[in-house]
Chain A
Amino acid sequence: MANENLKAKLAEYEAACEKVCAKFPERKNLKYNRVYTPLDIDGFDYEKDLSFPGEYPYTRGVQPTMYRGRFWTMRMYAGFATAEESNKRYRYLIESGATGLSCAFDLPTQIGYDSDDAMAEGEVGKVGVAIDSLKDMEILFDGIDLGKVSTSMTINAPASVLLAMYIAVAEKQGVPASALKGTIQNDILKEYAARGTYIFPPKPSMRLITNIFEYCSQNVPKWNTISISGYHIREAGSTAAQEIAFTIADGIAYVEAALKAGLDVDAFAGRLSFFWNAHNNVLEEVAKFRASRRLWAHIMKERFGAKKAKSMMLRVHTQTAGSMLTAQQVDNNIVRVALQTAAAVMGGTQSLHTNSRDEALALPTEASVQIALRTQQIVAYESGLADVVDPLGGSYYVEAMTNAIYDEAAEYIRKIDEMGGAVVAIEKGYIQKEIQESAYKWQMEVESGLRTIVGVNKFQVEEKPVEGLLRVDASVGVNQAKKTQKVREERDNAAVEKALAALKAGAADESVNLMPLILDAVRTYATLGEICNVLRDVFGEYQAHSTL
């Protein structure tokens, strides 16, 4: 009966608001209610829906203590130009207090072309560091103890090759593979759906991924073998619910592929990690993090019968939304990133990269990167947001939003299951179309003024061009190509041929795990392009199709 009373009072309140709100039409059609009450979380069950931090279904966080113990890992994504330049930036970041490295590779590296390949024209060293052979990897981590640092690598289609190079560098440093800590992104499905740096068709790509799962579970046990990424899906224009829905659907596909390859769910599921976007709408984002943890826990336990707690935990790396940075009034981006950081922290992320103010214009300068890192440190040490675990738990609004995002994502996953899973849904273009639809809607909302972006469609000012942007010299490409040609001349080419031939034979036999063969090849200084070309010969290349 309390509810009836409350409903009546709510109706009174809404009626009273109508008159005032009618004066603000642009604030009227927001997708949220004006106010949230216990009515919005009817049936809320603390122990079932939330429970305690570190307890199933992990809505409140994957660790019991969260930031009352250690803060999240402040991991700054960096890399540009040559291995030498990037090595300098990594050392600078470590000195500045960054607690993990995150490598950005240039596009030719991400798509398996050497720097002297015709396809690499104009792209070498532009969005990340160019890695052609083990030689470059040795320089990249020169003076950095791979036994101590944890390294995240944004690499997907050729992830096995870059991981093999990392293991080989560690060998030379005298660090055993079993001691290595880090993550490879290794999430090919979102490349087809949103990010575009694919090489091979889905089937052989899924095989490479399960090969890595298997190899690492035995030889590199502390390595996170995949970072199932919603980040790029969101960047491509999806909504918050779509971000976690399509990503978790991808996650389901990876788990199924590994099970099909004969792995035990608890042998690999604990090494799966996720990657979310921290977008502008702070509270919606917090709800998204919470909903995603609950959803993954339910799926792992109920669908896949996972037994180990770790297999059910959605551990997440986060990056603030690059697509929300504006090229206008770039200093405003500092504020945006601070709010996004707050969202990620209240959402309970395990690690975080904060974007720099100038990234809508170019790669960030060192000074901009420092502000971005300081933003995390201020949130951690000064804001108080990190003092309490899941500080928004119990908020009527955040709980209702968590439920709503959970339900919307679960409904998408049901649809994708019906189609035959994420791989089929991507091949049909379903996921791409849903993302494009949301992206177009967003753009039209901005252009119609329904959605305000400060400095872009409101509060504009005349501006002078931003000065002091980071520039990657065109000579980088030429020099890098020369360097690689020199590596080819100096290495034992007979050994390279032999290793590549073995790899080719292995690739043709689906029962072979390719990781040891790739590791053998990189040790001979076979280049990334050479290795990928061998695999292209056997696997073919993925042909995208228009989903417009």
Chain B
Amino acid sequence: MDLVKELLNGSRLALARAITAVESEYDNAVDIMKAIYPKTGNARILGITGAPGAGKSTLTDKIVKQYLAQGKKIGIVAVDPTSPFSGGAILGDRIRMNDLTLNENVFIRSMGTRGSLGGLSKKTSDVVKLMDAFGMDLVIIETVGVGQSEVDIVKNADSTLVVLVPGLGDDIQAIKAGILEIGDVFAINKADRDGCDKLNVEIEMMLDLDSRELAWRPPIKRTIASKDVGVDELVEALDEHFEFLEDSGELATRRQERTRDEIIAMINEQIGRYIADNIVVGDEFNRQVEAVNQKESDPYTVVSTVMQQVLKA
């Protein structure tokens, strides 16, 4: 396959087109993923999430610059929500990283959540794999932490950075939304604003409440991304977390679990798709549903009938 060969040879255009094929589930998507799979597993994957307006993109920009200075090659997957009404999206994160555009060691790709069957999580993870196979040392997934699907996306990462900002009044809500529970490192960005100490205490308290016996206590770092303040310390903390993962064997465990989860998700998706394409569109299925409506049958009977069909297929 030429596209894969070109991608592995370092063609940015081939990478871009392979991402499109995979994201849009073109017919060659599975073949592409199969072909590049042996080349994956070398990149470190960092998830960055946080409330809207927390300054994630600006912080990402500054973090990337630190790693570039270390000679790293970096892929960035920036995920923005798709409009549920039109299916369209405005993907505006690049604007904060415009001066990275022409850096040949950086590749930025924006994705809409699209909300298609099978979930964004898998596609994001495939895009990460493509960048990994392309030869990136670090792949960053950046997304707004507003809902469950975005939290899932970040689960594709080795380490997750949660970005918070004082005084948005959504501190407590963020805790409810559960994004605090996925943080390996916390950044309080825009730390020159009022309410920074209060937020710090709140996060510490929340971490104290965690009853699990954890070998890693997530550090909390204060940054002012727009002025490049505190970013080096934040990067140090991220590196420390990655070292911890490697040294403790946690990295291998996490990645094995991720592979397992991915395979299960793919199987579920396949089954779901088979059912969607072959069963629910049939007259037979509609007849059975109607029978349930007429109280001549029940949903449980229908499910076991369908499952028998699926297992035979």
Contacts and interface: CB of A to CB of B under 8 A. Distances in A.
State yes or no: do A and B touch (Cβ within 8 Å). Answer: yes
Interface string B227-260: 1000000000000000000000000000000000
A428 B98 CA distance: 19
B226 A543 contact: yes
A548 B95 CA distance: 11
Given A428-B53, A543-B226, A548 B92 contact: yes
Interface residues of B, number: 11
B80 to A, nearest CB: 9
Interface in A495-544: 540, 543-544
A545 B57 CA distance: 9
Interface string A154-174: 000000000000000000000
Contacts, number: 20
B247 to A, nearest CB: 37
Interface in B196-226: 226
B113 interface: no
Contact of B95 (A201, A428, A540, A546): A546
Nearest to B97: A543
Interface string B36-54: 0000000000000000010
Contacts of B227: 540
B96 A545 contact: yes
Nearest to A428: B53
A544 B53 contact: no
B58 interface: yes
B90 interface: yes
Interface string B85-105: 000001011011010000000
Contact of B58 (A201, A545, A548): A545
A41 B56 CA distance: 50
Q: Which of A544, A546, A548 has the most CB of B within 10 A?
A: A546
B58 A543 contact: yes
A76 B93 CA distance: 41
Contacts of A546: 90, 92-93, 95-96
Contacts of B90: 546, 548
A546 B226 CA distance: 15
A470 to B, nearest CB: 33
A163 B139 CA distance: 48
Contact of B96 (A201, A428, A540, A543): A543
B129 to A, nearest CB: 28
B224 to A, nearest CB: 12
Chain A residues touching B, range: under 10
A546 B96 CA distance: 8
A108 B85 CA distance: 41
A544 B227 CA distance: 14
Main secondary structure of the interface of B (DSSP, over half): helix
Contacts of B93: 546
A373 B264 CA distance: 75
Nearest to B91: A546
B77 to A, nearest CB: 17
Contacts of B226: 201, 543
A193 to B, nearest CB: 16
B110 to A, nearest CB: 11
Nearest to B61: A543
A329 B98 CA distance: 40
Contacts of A545: 57-58, 92, 95-96
Contacts of B53: 428
Contacts of B98: 543
A364 to B, nearest CB: 33
Contacts of A544: 95
A428 B58 CA distance: 13
A428 B190 CA distance: 12
Nearest to A424: B193
Nearest to B98: A543
Nearest to B94: A546
Interface string A341-369: 00000000000000000000000000000
A545 B96 CA distance: 6
Interface in A132-149: none
A421 to B, nearest CB: 13
A420 to B, nearest CB: 9
Interface in A174-212: 201
Contacts of B95: 544-546
A536 to B, nearest CB: 13
Interface in B79-132: 90, 92-93, 95-96, 98
Nearest to A542: B226
B310 to A, nearest CB: 44
Nearest to B96: A545
B214 to A, nearest CB: 35
Nearest to A543: B96
A546 B56 CA distance: 13
A546 B53 CA distance: 11
A548 B52 CA distance: 13
Interface string B44-75: 00000000010001100000000000000000
A201 B228 CA distance: 13
Q: Which of A201, A544, A545, A548 has the most CB of B within 10 A?
A: A545
B167 to A, nearest CB: 9
A546 B110 CA distance: 14
Contacts of B92: 545-546, 548
A543 B93 CA distance: 12
A544 B53 CA distance: 13
A201 B225 CA distance: 13
B59 to A, nearest CB: 12
A428 B95 CA distance: 15
A430 to B, nearest CB: 10
Interface string A73-97: 0000000000000000000000000
Contacts of A543: 58, 96, 98, 226
Nearest to A203: B227
B208 to A, nearest CB: 32
Contacts of A540: 227
A428 B227 CA distance: 16
Nearest to B194: A420
A219 to B, nearest CB: 33
A548 B80 CA distance: 12
Contacts of A548: 90, 92
B88 to A, nearest CB: 12
A209 to B, nearest CB: 20
B3 to A, nearest CB: 31
A462 B98 CA distance: 42
Interface string A259-283: 0000000000000000000000000
A242 B71 CA distance: 48
Nearest to A546: B92
Contacts of B96: 543, 545-546
A548 B93 CA distance: 11
A108 B53 CA distance: 31
B99 to A, nearest CB: 8
B262 to A, nearest CB: 32
Nearest to A540: B227
B63 to A, nearest CB: 15
A540 B229 CA distance: 14
A548 B227 CA distance: 24
Nearest to A547: B92
Given A545-B57, A546-B90, 13 more contacts: A428-B53, A543-B58, A543-B96, A544-B95, A545-B58, A545-B95, A545-B96, A546-B92, A546-B93, A546-B95, A546-B96, A548-B90, A548-B92
User: When A and B form their complex, which 3 residue pairs have the shortest distance between CB atoms, in order from nearest?
Assistant: A546-B92, A546-B95, A548-B90
20 contacts: A201-B226, A428-B53, A540-B227, A543-B58, A543-B96, A543-B98, A543-B226, A544-B95, A545-B57, A545-B58, A545-B92, A545-B95, A545-B96, A546-B90, A546-B92, A546-B93, A546-B95, A546-B96, A548-B90, A548-B92
